[in-house]
Amino acid sequence: MTSNRPLDPIDRKLLQALQQDASISHADLAERVGTSTASCWRKMRALEADGVLGRHVRLVDPTRIGRGVNVICNIKIKNHLAETSEAFEDFIASRDEIMECYSMSGDWDYMLRILVADVEDYNRFLMRTVLRHPSVATGSSHFALAQVKYTTAVPL
């Protein structure tokens, strides 16, 4: 387990600004957070080295590319042997439709967020792929009617 890195006020401003727009220039970022460009660059490199800042990505609007249906799928696996969980988690990692996967406490073993084109697309994926996996005992699906909130920004 890693320890938390202490964040000073400039670090927090940097992280907030980068979570809003990672394409901002170093000069504009430095101005926004109130430091020199060189100091800003060093702080960013330190945050990267400490693992606080990860890779740079661009967010895609799924509805604009025909993937506007979000489904939450709860999964129970057949048993809790390490090899069963590992096989299921390897399967999950290999599937692009599965946007998020959480190992859960409670009645269900895993919670998946799956992004598909429509209900038929989900039905095919669930019946032909997920439920046929040898580790899966059963599943339960919940369709999102509307996205009320979505953020990638971590609260600081």
Domains of the chain: 9-49 (1.10.10.10), 62-143 (3.30.70.920)
Predicted TM-score of the model (pTM): 0.87
Specify the pLDDT at position 4.
82
Give CA–CA dist 153/16, Å, rounded. 8
The Cα diameter of the chain in Å comes to: 57
Please state, in angstroms and as integers, the Cα–Cα distance from residue 33 to each residue in 28, 52, 154, following that order.
Answer: 9, 17, 18
Given a contact cutoff of 8 angstroms between Cβ atoms, the answer to whether 119 and 68 are in contact is no
Give CA–CA dist 144/75, Å, rounded. 17
Per-residue pLDDT of the chain (156 residues; tens, 9 = 90+): 456 879 999 999 999 999 999 999 999 999 999 999 999 999 999 999 999 999 999 999 999 999 999 999 999 999 999 999 999 999 999 999 999 999 999 999 999 999 999 999 999 999 999 999 999 999 999 999 999 999 999 999
DSSP-derived secondary structure letter, 38: H
Give CA–CA dist 55/85, Å, rounded. 27
